[in-house]
């Protein structure tokens, strides 16, 4: 059985003149319960690929504590990777928080970006940072700062 969230079922999508492919392109997620490649008793979930990465300077251990609290409040799964920012006049240690449209916690593109932004704002405040950069696989890079640009 296939269920398209946002459109109650494929038949509803068709009645609106929307194909399954179009529903996927426009952000409706699918949950496929009977994948032919699944082992007996296994549930396989598929979601459209969406990626947002958030870059920030600061202490990665402090960031992980903030992120753990955030993930308890907001159902999401993220990666945290150390990085180094090199720039004219210096360098800083930092981290990259990776958001994926994880089928266990499915999300449309707008909601995934909003969740990334909410976490970035919380991290900026709790880590005392002035800025962060978000990179969306859809082609948008955003730099947000509280200092003079």
Summarised one tens digit per residue, pLDDT across range 11-28 is 444 444 445 554 444 444
DSSP state, residue 39? P
For residue 46, which phi and psi values (nearest 5 degrees)? -120, 140
CATH 3.30.70.260 residue spans of the chain? 51-145
Summarised one tens digit per residue, pLDDT across range 81-139 is 999 999 999 999 999 999 988 887 788 888 889 999 999 999 999 999 999 999 998 78
Q: Are 136 and 113 in contact (CB under 8 A)?
A: yes
Output the pLDDT for position 149: 64
Q: Look-up: residue for tokens 């269920």?
A: 3
pTM (2 d.p.): 0.71
- Interatomic CA distance for residues 42 and 37, integer angstroms: 10
51-145 in CATH: which number? 3.30.70.260
- Interatomic CA distance for residues 106 and 45, integer angstroms: 10
Summarised one tens digit per residue, pLDDT across range 29-72 is 444 444 667 778 777 777 888 899 999 999 999 999 999 999 99
């Amino acid at each position: 059985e296939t269920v398209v969230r946002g459109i109650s079922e494929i038949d509803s999508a068709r009645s609106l003149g929307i194909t399954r492919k179009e529903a996927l392109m426009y952000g409706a997620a699918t949950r496929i319960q009977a994948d032919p490649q699944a082992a007996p008793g296994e549930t396989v979930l598929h979601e459209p690929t969406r990626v947002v990465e958030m870059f920030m300077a600061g202490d990665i251990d402090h960031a992980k504590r903030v992120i753990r609290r955030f993930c308890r409040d907001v159902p999401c799964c993220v990666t945290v990777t150390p990085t180094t920012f090199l720039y004219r006049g210096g360098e800083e240690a930092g981290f990259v928080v990776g958001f994926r449209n994880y089928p266990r916690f499915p999300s449309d593109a707008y909601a995934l970006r909003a969740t990334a932004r909410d976490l970035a704002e919380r991290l900026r405040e709790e880590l005392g940072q002035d800025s962060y950069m978000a990179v969306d696989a859809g082609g948008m890079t955003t730099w947000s700062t509280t200092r003079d640009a």
